[in-house]
Amino acid sequence: MIKAIYPGTFDPPTNGHLDLIERSSRLFDYVIVAIGEQSTKKPLFSIQERLDMLRELCAPFPNVEVDHFSGLLVHYAREKGVTIIIRGLRAVSDFEYEMQMALMNRKLAPDIETVFLMTSAKWSFLSSSLVKEVALLGGCVKQLVPPLVEKYLKEKRKNEGHQG
């Protein structure tokens, strides 16, 4: 059984993330979508909110599990028996950073491979950061995120006291 992990902050999950999750679920026997707890980023959504969103969004994929981790990804991957790390590439600009991460992970865990998947062209401009900014400023993100995530963003905007 080939187990893969698709790590990220998923703050919030976008249609681009969902595209990669769906495609990964067809490529690998088992996929763990893993939310990384990063101390350097200030997320809009709590770990629990992101877990709840992703679990609902991934429900149609029986071979996909949603989890979270802290610390080194390769340590978590080994703990879960994972041999593949999935990373999405949107543009050439992503490649340099992703290559550095893949090489560092390979240095730390030579038995774990990184597989890069190109995003679908229609999502190549999409990032969680852009979605958050547009949503919190009152813009429409309807075609960028699943309806569930749009609902969470609207609620967050209302609770954070943004106008509109």
Please report, in angstroms and rounded to a whole number, the separation of the first and last CA atoms in the chain: 49
Which residue among the candidates 17, 23, 132, 157 is catalytic per the annotation? Answer: 17
Q: Which of 23, 50, 90, 157 is catalytic?
A: 90
What DSSP string runs through 1-62?
A: --EEEEEE--SS--HHHHHHHHHHHHHSSEEEEEEE--TT---SS-HHHHHHHHHHHHTT-T
**Would you call 128 a catalytic residue per the annotation?**
yes
Q: Which of 23, 25, 128, 132 is catalytic?
A: 128
Single-letter amino acid code for the residue at 136: L
Of the residues 41, 75, 151, 158, only one is catalytic, namely 41
Active site residue 17: yes
* Catalytic residue annotation: 17, 41, 90, 128
